[in-house]
Structures are given as C-alpha cells and as structure tokens.
Structure 1
Amino acid sequence: MSLNFDPRKILSHPVVYTSYQKIVGGYRARKLFVENNVKIKPGQKILDIGCGPGDILEFLPKVDYTGIDLDANYIAQAKKKYGNKGQFKCAGVDGLDLEENHTFDIVISAGVLHHLTDEQCFNLFEIAVKALKPNGRFISFDGCYIPNQNKISAYFLRKDRGQFVRTQPEYERLAKTYFSNVVSTIDESYFFIPYTSIIMDCKNS
C-alpha cells in the first residue's frame, strides 16, 4: 500500500460514501436533521446545496426538490436513484447562477460549510439569500469544535475530509454576514459515533 494512501479519498465514490454513512449513523443523522431541524412541509420548494448522492430524499415528503453538487459522480448516482423525485445539477458554489431567484422556501446545506473556505461560504450564503423567498430559511449541518470536546469526536473531526471545521462562534460569524437572524444548536447524539454537530437555522426577518 502506498504511504501516500488517504482512506478518505475512497469516500468520493457514491456507493462507498453511502455505505460509510449508514455505518457511522449518517442516515440516522439526516433523518433527525430533517425531522427535528428542517421540518419540511409537503409541497415546499427546496434547494439542497451540496446534495451528494441525494440521500436526504429518503426522509423528505413530496416536495419540489433541486439538488446541486460539484461532484459529477454523486450527481450521476442521484439522478439514477432519485431522478423522478427532483432535479439535479452538477455545479459548485463559485459562480453558480440560479435560474429562479427568491422562489425557494428552504435552502439546505448539510455537511458542506466545513469543506469551504470563508470566501466560498460567503458565495454559498449569497446563493442562498438569492434563492430564498422572503422569510425563507437557510439550514446548515456541519461538524464543529467545542470546548472540552470528547477526544474521539475531536479525532473524527480532525480526520474529516472537510479541512475547515470551525467553532460555533466562527460558523455564526460567517452566517451573520448574510443573515440577520442566526440560531445555532450543538448536538452530539445524531451519529452512532462520537461526533459534534452544529445546526444553524438562518433567515432575514
């Protein structure tokens, strides 16, 4: 085995990623995220930024769903598995141009911000603001560093593919650049493994 082998790279394969998520509790975490935090109603228009292979659709009611992701393999898998349940586009947050502004009820970004630089986060927030209806909600879900953190949780965060895991105040600071109302919650129970998550619920009142 090459000394330069990075096991995190295999997660770029959609099937491996989905299997890994099921093992560590990612499916359970998405289900709880949707039920406890997103609270989507049938018929709402949803934009999912960084949708991956679209697995969150397993837990959504019938909605008008658009998922975007930079990884073409993920988008291909999403179209293959969920093509009749939504629209999927291969695109990143840099320079993304939505065809319809201010038409989405909710913008989701699950497991994305900790992969992005501050500038890329600003691009994502700007897209979300343009996409959302008045009083629409942007909701994110990411790994987070906290004081006196469980050592195993901290270890998993350090080994995460995302290189920009932040603290709660750092995530909030970024979001408040674009949203006037930012409420964040720390949770350590969503996954099967010790893992600290931050959920941000943001809107412009």
Structure 2
Amino acid sequence: MSNLSFSNFFLKNPFIYWTYQRLVGGDRARRLFVENNVQPIEGEKILDIGCGPGNILDYMPKVDYYGFDIDPNYIEAAKQNYGERGQFICANMDEFIVPDIGTFDKVIATGVIHHLDDSNATKLFKIAEQALKPSGCLITFDGCYIANQNFISQFLLKSDRGKYVRKQPEYEKLAQKFFSQVNATIDETYFRVPYTSIMMDCKKVAN
C-alpha cells in the first residue's frame, strides 16, 4: 500500500481524522474560519457542503444546520455526535437535492473544493447558488498554491488527499460562474504548521 493509499485508508476513520486534524491544527483552523469568515448568527440557516463528521458545529451558535457528505462513516459519526443540532444527509454532488431552494443565509464548504475536479466543483457552486437567499453568501476554505511558497506548506499541499489544489485565480474562475462578487483572502496562519489557505466569500448573482 502506498503512503497516499495508507493515509486515505486511515483518514476515512472519523476518530483518526479528528486526531490528525488536532495534531496539525485543523481544529484551530476550523474555529478561526468560523469566527473570522463565516461569522454565523444564532438562528441563521446554514448548509455545509462536505460536512465530514460535523465537528464544525463545536464553534457555531444555535443555527438551523444542514450538512451533507459522500462518506457514510462521517455522516454516521455526525448523527451520533451532533444529531440534535442539525440534519445530516449522505449524498454526492449529483444525488443531493437542496431542501427549500433559496432559503439559506449561508453555505459553507470547508476543505472540499480541492478534492473536486472542475466538473464536480462546478456542481458545488451550483448547489450553493440554488440554496442561498438573494442576500446570502457562500464561504469556502481550501489549500492554495502561491508564488514563493513555504516548502513545508507546498509539501503538505502536494501530499494532501485532495488532488485538485489550485492557485487563487483558478478557484475564483470556478466561483465566478455562479457568483458576481468573489472576494478571496490568502492566509498562512490558521494551522499550527505552515499551510497556505484561501478563503472565498461569494455573493449571489443579482437577477
């Protein structure tokens, strides 16, 4: 089994995933992403695309939360740990049907787009656009390549399970198919290890 296959196999286990995330500072990065970028307000309706085991709820107030993920192990863990705080659906991009189109205040995608090729990433942005209110926004968080990148950050990105880590303009181009306003921020301090992140705040296209 290759190193990549080995990591893929073990990180599919929710407990090992949580442990790994804590070691590299994924829990810290998730908290900072919620505090600085998502800024959820109690009572907001939020759709989490690629919700994983749902532990982003640790950093959120009481919201009307919907999460979906392709991995049944993660969804089962999410239901067990956060079933009283949200609704969780196991589905891929083709299967997922947006509940109550046009009613969500925010859609989030945390560490998801760099796992998707352009075709599936386009489906993600389309789902988000359908779900959001006219005043709503999509907030994303992914790894990103930049010029003169720290070699540790570059190594971690190349070793990532996600095979579609992009540069900033490539992420923006995907988002701009469905959102007229895309504001991207690059940050290298969210994790405990050197890691370059891109956060995008995407507003709906005006009718």
* 1:92-115 deviation per Cα after TM superposition (whole angstroms, max 9, x unaligned): 112421231001000000000000
Q: Please list, as runs of the form range in 1=range in 2, the aligned pairs for 1:141-156 lying within 5 A after superposition.
A: 141-156=141-156
Partner of 1:70: 70
| Residues 1:169 and 2:169 are matched in the alignment | yes
Query: 1:24 — aligned with what?
Result: 24
Does the 8 A contact of 2:48 with 2:66 survive in 1? yes
**Alpha-carbon distance in structure 2 between the residues aligned to 1:62 and 1:3:** 42
Counterpart in the other structure of 1:39? 39
Q: Name the TM-score, length of structure 2 as normaliser.
A: 0.96
- Whether contact under 8 Å (2:4, 2:159) holds in the other structure is no
2:70 touches 2:90 (CA, 8 Å); kept in 1?
A: yes
Residue type of the alignment partner of 2:58:
E
% same residue: 57
| Equivalent AA in structure 1 for residue 69 of structure 2 | D
Which AA in structure 2 matches 1:47? Answer: L
Deviation, 1:188, is 0.3
Partner of 2:6: 7
Q: What TM-score does the superposition give when structure 1 sets the normalisation length?
A: 0.97
Give 4+ residue runs of structure 1 displaced > 2 Å after superposition.
Answer: 2-7
Letter in 2 for 1:178: F
Superposition pairs for residues 1-205 of structure 1, below 5 Å?
2=1, 6-9=5-8, 10-204=10-204, 205=206
Q: Residues 5 and 109 (structure 1 numbering): CA distance in 2 closer, same or farther, change over 3 Å?
A: closer
The alpha-carbon distance between structure 1 residues 52 and 154, as it changes in their structure 2 partners (threshold 3 A), is same
Question: Which letter does structure 2 place at the counterpart of 1:71?
Answer: D
Aligned residues: 204
Superposition CA RMSD, Å: 1.1
Displacement after TM superposition at 1:17 (Å): 0.3
- The letter of the residue matching 1:28 is R
The one-letter amino acid of 1:201's match is D
Q: Could you list the per-position Cα deviations for residues 144-163 of structure 1 after superposition, in whole angstroms to 9, with x for gaps in the alignment?
A: 00000000100000000000
Q: Please, which runs of 5 or more residues in structure 2 have no aligned partner?
A: none
Q: Which amino acid aligns with 2:22?
A: K
Q: Assess if the C-alpha contact under 8 Å between 2:69 and 2:90 holds in 1.
A: yes
Unaligned runs of 5+ in 1: none
